[in-house]
Amino acid sequence: MTFIDSHAHLTSSEVLPHLDSILLRAKQSRVSHILNICTDPETLRQGLLLSARHSHIRNAGATTPHDVALEGESAFPFFEASVREGKLCAIGETGLDYHYEHSPKDLQIHFLKRYLYLAAAADLPIIFHCREAFSDLFSIADAEYKGLAILHCFTGTLQEAEEVLKRGWVLSLSGIVTYKKSEPLRAVAKMVPLSQLLIETDTPYLAPQSHRGKPNEPSYLPETAQCIAAAKGISVEEVALATSENAKRIFGFGV
* pLDDT number for residue 101: 81
* pLDDT number for residue 254: 79
Query: CATH assignment of 3-251?
Result: 3.20.20.140
Determine the average pLDDT of the residues in 83-96: 98
pLDDT at 100 over 90: no
Domain layout of the chain by residue ranges:
3-251
pTM: 0.97
User: 3-class DSSP state for residue 209?
Assistant: helix
Q: Contact at 8 Å (CB) between 148 and 172?
A: no
Number of Cβ within a 10 Å radius of residue 14: 12
Q: Each residue of 172-192: pLDDT tens digit?
A: 999 999 999 999 999 999 999
Q: Contact at 8 Å (CB) between 247 and 3?
A: no
**Residue 255: which pLDDT band, with cuts at 50, 70 and 90?**
low
Going through 152-206 in order, the beta strands assigned E by DSSP cover 170-173, 197-199
H or E stretch including 92? strand 90-97
